[in-house]
């Protein structure tokens, strides 16, 4: 009986993970799955309440880690441009509200960080990685239009330039309206 190498096993799990992710992600042009989650201050934040505005809904793995910090700080630094384009930025991870509160305070993040502690919203957006003992949100972003539909999805995010990419895309999308 041939032995399975660790490399082959990892490749198999990676293919399974990627194929599941692609099947679960809602498509651009469809209604954004609605939800209500607490932010870092315990205030309930509802996607439906954002109708009439663009929403940059970004999922991220873990508070205060290098990539997540870089992405959050880039959104913070580009917030004025995003706001001028009519967009609200909101981050989501499976961390609790206390973790979000510390993260937001440490880096002066002026936008909501939502706690999806039971991972239900990440699952609905196809952004959940659940490895039995470790569960985190994948680094996905969804651009929700003012009518509540998904205008664009970002499944491969480069943290250093992602917020600029969103600004550029919003400029294009708002020009067409």
Measured in whole angstroms, the distance separating CA 153 from the mean position of its chain's CA atoms is: 10
SS3 content of the chain, % helix, strand, coil (to 5): 40, 20, 40
Residue 96: burial class (beta carbons within 10 Å; 0-12, 13-18, 19+): middle
Other C-beta atoms lying within 10 Å of the C-beta of residue 152:
18
Residues 6+ apart with CB under 8 A from 77: 163
- Let me know if 68 is a catalytic residue: yes
Name the token pair of 73: 């700080």
Place of tokens 């194929």: 19
- 32, 37, 68, 128: the catalytic one is 68
Please give the positions annotated as active site. Answer: 68
């Amino acid at each position: 009986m041939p032995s399975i190498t660790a490399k082959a096993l990892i490749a198999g799990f990676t293919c399974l993970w990627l194929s599941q992710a692609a099947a679960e992600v809602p498509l651009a042009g469809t209604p954004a799955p609605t939800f209500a989650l607490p932010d870092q201050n315990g205030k309930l934040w509802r996607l439906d309440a954002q109708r009439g505005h663009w929403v940059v809904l970004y999922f991220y793995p873990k508070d205060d880690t290098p990539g997540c910090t870089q992405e959050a700080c880039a959104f913070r630094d580009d917030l004025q441009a995003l706001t001028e384009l009519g967009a609200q930025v909101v981050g989501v991870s499976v961390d609790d509200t206390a973790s979000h509160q510390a993260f937001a305070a440490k880096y002066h993040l002026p936008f909501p960080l939502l706690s999806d502690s039971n991972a239900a919203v990440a699952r609905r957006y196809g952004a959940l990685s659940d490895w039995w003992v470790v569960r985190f949100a994948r680094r996905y972003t969804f651009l929700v239009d003012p009518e509540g539909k998904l205008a664009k999805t970002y499944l491969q995010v480069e943290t250093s330039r992602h917020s600029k990419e969103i600004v550029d895309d919003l400029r294009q999308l708002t020009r067409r309206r």
